[in-house]
Amino acid sequence: MALVRLICCGFAGPVASIVTNALRDIKSLQLEELGEKFRELGEPSYRSRQIADWLYKRRVESFENMTDLPHELRRRLAKLFGFDRLDVVRVLGSRDTTRKFLFRLGDGNLIESVLIPASPALYGQKSDRRTICISTQVGCAYGCKFCASGLEGFSRNLRENEIVDQIITAERESGEKIDNIVFMGMGEPLANLQNVMRAIRIINAPWGLGIGARHITVSTSGLAPQIRKLADEPLQIRLAVSLHGATDEVRNQIMPINRRYNVETLLSACDYYVARKKQRLTFEYILIAGVNDSDEQAHILAKHAHRLSAKVNLIPYNTVEGLEWSRPSRNRQEKFLSILREHGVAATLRYEKGHDINAACGQLRLQTKREDVASPSRRRKNRQDVRVTI
């Protein structure tokens, strides 16, 4: 792990020197903030609706293309605001299968999103939904021992427009309409709560992307105080909690966050969420061989699920190069599932899609960075946005 960190830190230098657009991105503003701006500029308030329409319905990428605005106003806006773009570095997968996008941000950092085709009972949603799994941070500070995203530590929070742009760019690239959002890509969404909530408002608003709150799921590794804050938000967004261990003993081994907020502290924040929102949450539970897959863990997990009337999503561990963990045998996975079901828990065993394209969070980015270190000529090609579709 130390070697990986060393190599990747070496790579961070030239990327960090890429110049970023100094103007604030227009998509970082809420509708009412656009309205305020137009008041300051002495423009009628309906301008904010016009702009939102151009941005989120017609999806233009310059003020010049907003043809029903006066020329002078377009010029003034172009001096005040920018249009950040996500550049597509790689796309893995093909139509009708899970597709993974590697994006480059304006400052050169890499993030990834995964587009998942219609899938039965994904996070309790209807089966005909097209889901995207999006990132909220560059890297992650929480350092779960099994996860590729945490391997290189944390670089920075994503801004609201960078979160929303993952959806817009994936729709543009795939030609498909996305109608289900899961915050399960790189990063810990609740550690970037303010920007995540601002992005969710744009995703949900009728003037924005218009995706219903019940089709937006936020996943957390267990930031108990932030779960309570999220519970106090008026929007009915769904919560998934990455439990991955039913006891402190197991969770402490693989998730450092548990030393700050132990299982009981986490579950009591979940009690609060469920009481406030009056909705079921989901426990995510990766099955890792010999770590958290015992019968005993299954019995205790069932007890937690009952307490909260929670659903349980079992996910066989996706191997990460350089990490020692592996998934249990098929028999063991099914035994674990059957114990939960014997207790009457609503549980599914997710047959992981995209195992062959590094679909677990952070993996494609890590692999690309490793390849770039090993082969500087590919790195140069990547800088010019060469797109590799497999």
Report the nearest approach of ligand SAH to the CB of residue 188 (Å): 4
Report the nearest approach of ligand SAH to the CB of residue 96 (Å): 22
Site string for ligand SF4, 100-129 (x = CB under 6 A): ------------------------------
> Tokens 């267990």 sit at which residue?
222
Beta-carbon neighbour count of residue 6 at 10 Å? 9
Beta carbons of 188 and 217 less than 8 angstroms apart: no
Token pair listed for 166 = 């993952």
Applying the rule CB under 6 A, the residues between 165 and 224 that interact with ligand SF4 are 187-188, 221
Report the nearest approach of ligand SAH to the CB of residue 353 (Å): 11
317 binds, among ligand SAH, ligand SF4, none (CB under 5 to 8 A by kind): ligand SAH
Beta-carbon neighbour count of residue 79 at 10 Å? 9
According to the binding rule CB under 6 A, does residue 147 interact with ligand SF4?
Answer: yes
Q: Which is nearer to ligand SAH, 82 or 245 (CB)?
A: 245
Report the nearest approach of ligand SAH to the CB of residue 171 (Å): 21
Report the C-alpha gap between 344 and 306 in whole angstroms. Answer: 8
318 binds, among ligand SF4, ligand SAH, none (CB under 5 to 8 A by kind): ligand SAH
211: left (phi over 0), alpha (psi -120 to 50) or beta: beta
> Read out DSSP for 63-113?
GGG-TTS-HHHHHHHHHHEE---PEEEEEES-TTS-EEEEEE-TTS-EEEE
Q: Which residues form the interface with ligand SAH (CB under 6 A)?
A: 146-147, 184, 188, 219-221, 242, 244, 284, 286, 315, 317-318, 320, 360-361
150 binds, among ligand SAH, ligand SF4, none (CB under 5 to 8 A by kind): ligand SF4
Which pairing describes strands 282-287 and 311-316: parallel, antiparallel, or unpaired?
A: parallel
β-pair partners for 234: none
* Residues lying near ligand SF4 in the complex (CB under 6 A): 140, 142-144, 147, 149-150, 187-188, 221, 242, 361
